[in-house]
Amino acid sequence: MSLEARGLTFAYAEDAAPAVSGVDLELETGELIAVVGPNGSGKSTLLALLAGWRRPQVGEVLLDGRPLGSLSHRERALQVAYLPQSVVPLYDLTVGEVVASGRHPHRGPWGLGNGGDRAAIAGALAATATTQLAARDFGSLSGGEQQRVLVASVFAQQPRWLLLDEPTASLDVHHRVAVLDVLRSAVRRGSGVILVTHDLNLAALFADRVVLLVEGRRHAVGTPTEVLVQPVLEAAYGPELIVVEHPEVARPVVLPRSGLSR
């Protein structure tokens, strides 16, 4: 199962500089792919393009070799789920309702459910450790719990590809790790996860591949040990970083240089 970007270029306005420019990617399921880069490097825009939410002005996205735009909306949603940044439901909903809403593409006209609904919802709640929250009001949860519930709604959709925009932003370390563990479990079951994140260390410890964007362009793609190295990161983020090795595993850790001596 492949998701491919061919020469993607996208600008938000005709006279604006492109947010994403000439990006080529070939991604396979069974991997967790982290999209990283400085602020404004086009990470979220790239994810929106891969999800079909934005249409590129140049280039195309191919899902198993078929242009994404040639699929019906429903066909696409059965394959590719997309969770944008900061989701705020308009009305009061219970956690169970939020998770169940992920079943939409599996339902027939008039929203009638199918047999798999209950099992998929229960499975999604269990996988994200939110079963005990099911009857709670979504708005009453903490930020970390809300993120887990939103990830559960993506799980309930049972797609091959999970495209998530900063699902761990605003979470503490413990909850970040919890969400990433859940995403790794999806990868083990054969899904592909594409994750936009600011957190280079999370990418280093959980991703199979890292896509580094700089000013809308593909700067580097590879394993964390290939991409998260001093010269590559310096070109993207400037000289204020040092890369060391994690004490437990052979993965890089990126630290800011100390400001104390300045």
Report the interface residues with another protein, using CB under 8 A.
Answer: 48, 51-53, 73-78, 80-84, 87-94, 97, 101-102, 104-105, 107, 109-111, 139, 157, 163
* Shortest Å, Cβ 146 to another protein: 11
* Shortest Å, Cβ 187 to another protein: 19
* Shortest Å, Cβ 89 to another protein: 5
- Residue 241 backbone phi and psi in degrees, to 5: -125, 150
Q: Which is nearer to another protein, 37 or 159 (CB)?
A: 159
15 three-class SS? coil
Tokens 């070109």 found at: 235
Contacts for 193 with CB less than 8 Å, ≥ 6 apart? 31, 32, 33, 161, 162, 164, 183, 186, 187
* Shortest Å, Cβ 15 to another protein: 15
Q: Which is nearer to another protein, 5 or 98 (CB)?
A: 98
* Shortest Å, Cβ 111 to another protein: 3
Cα–Cα distance measured from residue 46 to residue 104, given in angstroms and rounded to the nearest whole number: 24
Q: Which is nearer to another protein, 101 or 131 (CB)?
A: 101
Q: Which is nearer to another protein, 93 or 122 (CB)?
A: 93
Q: Which is nearer to another protein, 76 or 219 (CB)?
A: 76
Cα–Cα distance measured from residue 106 to residue 156, given in angstroms and rounded to the nearest whole number: 10
| Residue 174 contacts residue 12 (beta carbons within 8 Å) | no
Cα–Cα distance measured from residue 161 to residue 2, given in angstroms and rounded to the nearest whole number: 9
